[in-house]
Structure 1
């Protein structure tokens, strides 16, 4: 199929199979996310429909990475090309690796909006924020009574992270949002906090990112609950918005931000002072890792396995046709697995382990993420075709993800134990000496 024919096939898939409403700007140079409002899930649906309707397929790596920005990039995936060496891209981490794991520069992973916001203050104070990501790779998610995977739900709170952040870094993260009062009353509280914000203070709010179309994001969810931070500017009609999770900051009209905050789909907010930060004690880091680490299972793989099984068996009235919607939020939870890199990097650097071996484990982390992304595609294919024989590849992919993550956790547990041997005993010894000196006085 020629480039022009592929372009037309993509348009047909969007307009007829997917009935996508945002095609006015369709063309080779149209940006998939910003111009056509296509998120990662919709791009997967394009891949799937091109395969099912036109027999067009691309390598699994291309499906998983989705390294496409424009319609022309999408068309190019289906054109013959020379074989190139694939280099791990770590697409959601950013940063630089000029100095490697033992230098000051490292990948800055953005995979959890609340954690990114509070850790932003640590970085501003020159503290290593990477240990706080111990709690992210298996961070809580929900499973609805219709067997839908949810990254945000009413019973998912930030209490675990709040309590540990204060214990580790000495910063009290106070919740200002009160669910028992009206949205208007909460807005008044927020406006006062933004007005009184100090130089080292942070005002965090949950808003619905879907209602900030000028903000680019990879997951064009509707709704899209998301935490970011606000402050005033010299212009009373404009606010400065700082979004550490998406590595973006800039000015947005105050009324637009308030509109996104006031949506009934969202509600939440915190305030904290970065000036209070201190370095964590080794014994507290050990306790935090122990509280976070789920060595014996992989909750995300287990949940997806249950979801697929429920849809195959028709539990609660769900059918295979419902499976696509059930796993729609899998990509948002999948990227949390990049947090493993911060865990490995923290211990690797402290123990002065070989940098080349660290890079190998980063490739394993990337392999886990790609396996979960391809799993998402396999689930969608099973759902759209209804062919039960396609369940086998889904369970095989789940087994692959399980195997990789179990391997990662095994190594992480090993280097954690080494770190504890070198640091926790010494930390406790120093504490005991300090206490003895106080008693002697």
Structure 2
């Protein structure tokens, strides 16, 4: 369970908690199943864009765990200035500081680029080693750590068409209260809305029918980043595991809901494949089956959300009763 990775920046934040304490990081994955995405003017569904910011994650990381996230990357400055700031942070890093930077993974061929994206903006952590020409790279999202040539890492930062970076100084990690965990769940929970599924459905219909200036051929780039977004649905498994610890229901029931999550993730892969095939073969007769699949995925995810909300309310009730007994 602890190896599920679904979002590069959130995984960095959670890895810090994991390495520095025994505090449960799983609540920080709440709501990530409905994480932000963007649709470009050309109709590309994108997991990263200048229109997406991570302010809410930064705010709640501090609220839940008491750690302030400092954004060192200044979007008002040019790339050279930001690279200089990054170099200073790495060179002068105290032991309790974590330096997070966005690289373009497509510029690091030594590292696996399993989503075959180019560019591939991705957050990971960097620190110095005893060798001046090597840096230590910690990439929690891809479960990879090891030494990399300093110049290659710098190249992947400098030539990244996007940019971003944070640092966190660890003093003390606080355990979130049950009230705070409940507040975060409630704030991020969208009971009746599966935005990614519905937006994808609308976009595919428009492109197949060549409406609003879209064309069928535009479907190929439009759905290219879907696998990166689909894996965010695995965050449901973190939530189920977290509540199960208190509710103590059977492993069989837990596995059932994890299988439903897998149905959704695989559903996105299936839809992406069919959408590309429809565009490549110019066969809009496939549209009906694609829409049907997306509607089926939407229905499954609404069932997952209903069950998760039920477990959350039970968890909350049990925690409240425990507090009363303590008093």
Alpha carbons of structure 1 residues 350 and 274: separation in structure 2 relative to 1, 3 Å = farther
Q: CA deviation at 1:154?
A: 0.3
Structure 1 stretches of 5 or more lacking a match? 1-105, 434-441
Given candidates 25, 32, 35, the residue that maps to 1:139 is: 35
Task: Trace 1:294-309 onto structure 2 (pairs within 5 A).
Answer: 294-309=190-205
Partner of 2:312: 416
TM-score w.r.t. structure 2 length? 0.96
Q: Does structure 1 residue 112 correspond to structure 2 residue 23?
A: no
Secondary structure of residue in 2 paired with 1:315: coil
Deviation string for 1:274-330 (max 9, x for gaps)? 343111011111111111111111111111111112212323322111111111111
Contact 1:241 1:250 in 2 (8 A): yes
Instruction: Identify if the C-alpha distance between structure 1 residues 228 and 128 changes in structure 2 by more than 3 Å, giving closer, same or farther.
Output: same
> RMSD between aligned alpha carbons?
1.6
Specify the structure having the higher radius of gyration (Cα). Answer: 1
Matches for 1:212-291 after TM superposition, within 5 Å: 212-291=108-187
Residue segments in structure 2 that go unaligned for 5+ positions in a row: none
Structure 1 residue ranges, 4+ long, deviating more than 4 angstroms after superposition: 424-430
Deviation readout 1:99-143 (Å, 9 max, x if unpaired): xxxxxxx34211100000000011111211111111311100011
Partners of 1:400 and 1:308 in 2: how far apart?
16
Whether the 8 Å CA contact 2:205–2:287 is kept in 1: the answer is: no
In structure 2, the residue matched to 1:178 is 74
8 A contact 1:283–1:427 mirrored in 2: no
- 1:414-436 Cα deviation digits (max 9, x unpaired): 00010111225655998xx8xxx
The alignment status of 1:360 with 2:256, answered yes or no, reads yes
* Aligned equivalents of 1:230, 1:107: Cα separation in 2: 22
Structure 2 partner of 1:405: 301
Residues paired across the two proteins, number: 326
CA distance in 2, matches of 1:357, 1:229: 36
- Taking the aligned partners of 2:321 and 2:184, their CA distance within structure 1 comes to 16
SS of corresponding position for 1:249: strand
Cα distance, 1:227–1:429 mapped onto 2, change above 3 Å? farther
Distance 1:313 1:429, change over 3 A: farther
Query: C-alpha distance in 2, partners of 1:382/1:242?
Result: 40
